[in-house]
Amino acid sequence: MAKFMNLVRCKVKASHREEYLKKMDERQKFEGMTTSKVVEVKPNEFFMTGEWKSEEDIAKARPQMIEFLDSLRHTLEELSPELGVTDPYSGSVIIEK
């Protein structure tokens, strides 16, 4: 079974940076998630990555992920009217070394 990953880009309001990082650090892994990382690519702009056992596992966890995002929405800047506050992607891991 192929591993599955999700990546979510967001921008955090400078005034809410510490709150965002604390909540991300305290969050438990979702069921089926094997690893999770938060990467700062620019000041207050982050990518959250999650590795999952399968696509089915991420699908099952989606309601809990949305609930967690809802608890963070007030800390995030809108990326665009089309995207809202996150730019999410997911897919199968093709190459891993």
Which range marks the domain in which residue 84 is found? 4-91
For β-strands 4-12 and 76-77, DSSP reports them as antiparallel
Residue 19 belongs to a domain: yes
Of 13, 8, 6, 16, the residue nearest 78 (C-alpha): 13
Residue 40 belongs to a domain: yes
* Tokens 């979510």 sit on residue: 8
Residue 96 belongs to a domain: no
Cα(29)–Cα(48) distance, integer angstroms:
12
Q: What is the pLDDT of residue 65?
A: 95
Residue 25 belongs to a domain: yes
**pLDDT tens figures, 4-49:** 999 999 999 999 999 999 999 999 999 999 999 999 999 999 999 9
Residue 84 belongs to a domain: yes
Tokens of 54: 């399968």
Residue 97 belongs to a domain: no
Which residues are paired to 90 by β-bridges?
A: 6
CATH number at residue 24: 3.30.70.100
Residue 72 belongs to a domain: yes
State the pTM of this model: 0.89
Cα(4)–Cα(82) distance, integer angstroms:
25
How many domains does one find in the chain?
A: 1
